[in-house]
A = this chain, B = another copy of it.
Amino acid sequence: MKLKPLGDRVVIKQLEAEEKTKSGIVLPNQAKEKPQEAEVVAVGPGGVVDGKEVKMEVKVGDRVIYSKYAGTEVKIDDEEYIVLRQSDILAIVEQ
């Protein structure tokens, strides 16, 4: 089962301590204190959203910082995700 976000929406998964990202990087312990850091797991197509052209700038696998309280939590197959608009993503964390 897979989520296909609509419009400018992005599905992210919060990073947990010691979890491996897809690229195999082991995240350090202090990740436990960074609840706004997450990995992008699905990206909407963008296009015209609320009458305005939106170009998607994040891609699956990106680690991102996002606005606290933004988006909606969903649970799929016992995994928890957050669905938010790209505009609620503040920055990409480069490694």
Q: A55 to chain B: closest CB distance in Å? A: 7
Q: How many residues of A contact B (CB 8 A)?
A: 42
Instruction: Please state if B93 and A50 are interface contacts (CB–CB under 8 Å).
Output: no
- Name which residue of chain B comes closest to A11, CB basis: B91
Q: A95 to chain B: closest CB distance in Å? A: 6
Give the one of A67, A91, A95 with max B CB within 10 A: A91
Instruction: Please state if B2 and A42 are interface contacts (CB–CB under 8 Å).
Output: no
Chain B residues contacting A33 (CB-CB under 8 Å) are 75
Chain B residues contacting A5 (CB-CB under 8 Å) are 90-91
Chain B residues contacting A93 (CB-CB under 8 Å) are 1-4, 76
- Give the contacts of A44-91 with B (CB-CB under 8 A): 44, 48, 50-53, 55, 57-58, 65, 67-68, 72, 74-78, 83, 86-87, 89-91
Instruction: Please state if A94 and B2 are interface contacts (CB–CB under 8 Å).
Output: yes
